[in-house]
């Protein structure tokens, strides 16, 4: 799906709610305190960031549309570097080859592990990067190494060769089991997976943070796309970023579902600098 078609599809979802005389809104943007803000106001504040973490719901079309619109708008005022959870570090070469035109879409399909919703949800961002010569960084750990941590803890990574270790955050991995995000993972799993389950999540967060900072340029705004749970409440990836380089200006966006989008629910306040609230009945992309 082209960028134009992707945007038109999202717009159709938004305005379909206005049929039959109803005046319904598909989404609303709020700041951390729960005050409604305009897209223009949000952009003005985001433009001063060093790193922007854009948290999405993976199957939500409004989140993906807003990612694209935000990126396009920021590109008008900032030099950008893009990065995403959806690309694993050992697929960087394939992604670079596509961005430079050395391989076509079929070549990317066969050499990179693309998510099943790539064509509808992430391809527009990659195409925008390609058309504007914007670097796009594969930040996430190869899933096989996260699986190793789930089975054997961080110690399992010590068995990797030096060539394999280049795909992950430097060892030893910084980890705090008292971070609320990781405690909640353990709680929600009811003990299944034990202490290694949150560690498997942490190795992803640590690797993404490492790669964001590795490719951060003081002359460029780094825009990173990830599931909201990787950055909500300034935890996950953001916790690692603050540990590694606390002096940068980190800003975040999250996506939440509500029955009523006109007022931000208390539980969502403070989860990010900006909260995009989407009607819970919004059509999903998969």
CA distance 110 to 190: 38
pLDDT (tens digit per residue) in 233-276 = 999 999 999 999 999 999 999 999 999 999 999 999 999 999 99
pTM score, whole prediction:
0.91
Whether residue 50 contacts residue 241, with contact meaning beta carbons closer than 8 Å, is answered with no
CATH number, residue 73:
3.40.50.11550
Within the chain, strands assigned E span 27-31, 51-56, 80-88, 136-140, 221-227, 250-258, 274-279
Closest CA to 78 of 213, 220, 216: 220
Q: Is residue 285 part of a domain?
A: no
Owning domain of residue 230: 3-279
Assess if residue 73 is contained within a domain.
yes
Q: What is the pLDDT of residue 21?
A: 46
Residue 186 lies in a domain: yes
Contacts of residue 61, defined as CB under 8 A and 6 or more positions apart, other chains included, come to 9, 10, 13, 121, 282, 283, 284, 285
pLDDT of residue 8: 53
Using alpha carbons, select from 49, 218, 220, 217 the residue that is nearest to residue 132: 220
The SS3 assignment for 120 reads helix
Model pLDDT, residue 156? 98
Indicate whether 286 belongs to any domain: no
Asked if residue 116 belongs to a domain, the reply is yes
> Do 166 and 207 touch, CB atoms closer than 8 A?
no
The residues, ordered by sequence, that sit 6+ positions from 265 with a Cβ below 8 Å of its Cβ are: 256, 258
Residue 284 located in a structural domain: no
With a cut of 50, which residues of the chain have pLDDT below it? 16-21
The number of folded domains in the chain is 1
């Amino acid at each position: 799906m082209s960028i134009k078609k992707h945007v038109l599809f999202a717009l159709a979802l938004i305005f379909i709610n206005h049929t039959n005389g109803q005046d319904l809104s598909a989404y609303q943007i709020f700041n951390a305190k729960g005050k409604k803000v305009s897209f223009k106001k949000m952009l003005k504040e985001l433009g001063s960031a060093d790193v922007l973490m854009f948290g999405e719901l993976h199957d939500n079309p409004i989140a993906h549309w807003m990612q694209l619109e935000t990126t396009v708008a920021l590109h008008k005022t900032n030099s950008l570097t893009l990065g995403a959870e959806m690309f694993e570090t050992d697929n960087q070469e394939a992604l670079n080859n596509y961005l430079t035109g050395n391989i076509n879409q079929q070549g990317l399909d066969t050499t990179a592990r693309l998510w099943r919703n790539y064509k509808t949800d992430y391809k527009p961002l990659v195409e925008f990067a390609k058309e504007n010569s914007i670097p796009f960084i594969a930040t996430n750990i190869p899933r096989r190494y996260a699986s190793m941590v789930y089975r054997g803890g961080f110690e399992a990574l010590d068995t990797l060769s030096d060539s394999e270790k280049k795909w992950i955050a430097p060892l030893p991995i910084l980890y705090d089991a008292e971070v609320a995000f990781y405690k909640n993972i353990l709680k929600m799993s009811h003990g299944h997976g034990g202490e290694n389950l949150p560690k498997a999540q942490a190795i992803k967060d640590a690797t993404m943070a490492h790669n964001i900072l590795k490719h951060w340029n003081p002359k460029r705004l780094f825009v990173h796309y990830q599931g909201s749970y990787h950055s909500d409440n300034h935890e996950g990836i953001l916790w690692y970023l603050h540990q590694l380089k606390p002096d940068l200006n980190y800003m975040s966006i999250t996506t939440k579902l509500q029955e009523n989008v006109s007022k931000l629910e208390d539980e969502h306040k403070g989860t990010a600098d900006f909260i995009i609230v989407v009607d819970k009945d919004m059509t999903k992309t998969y």
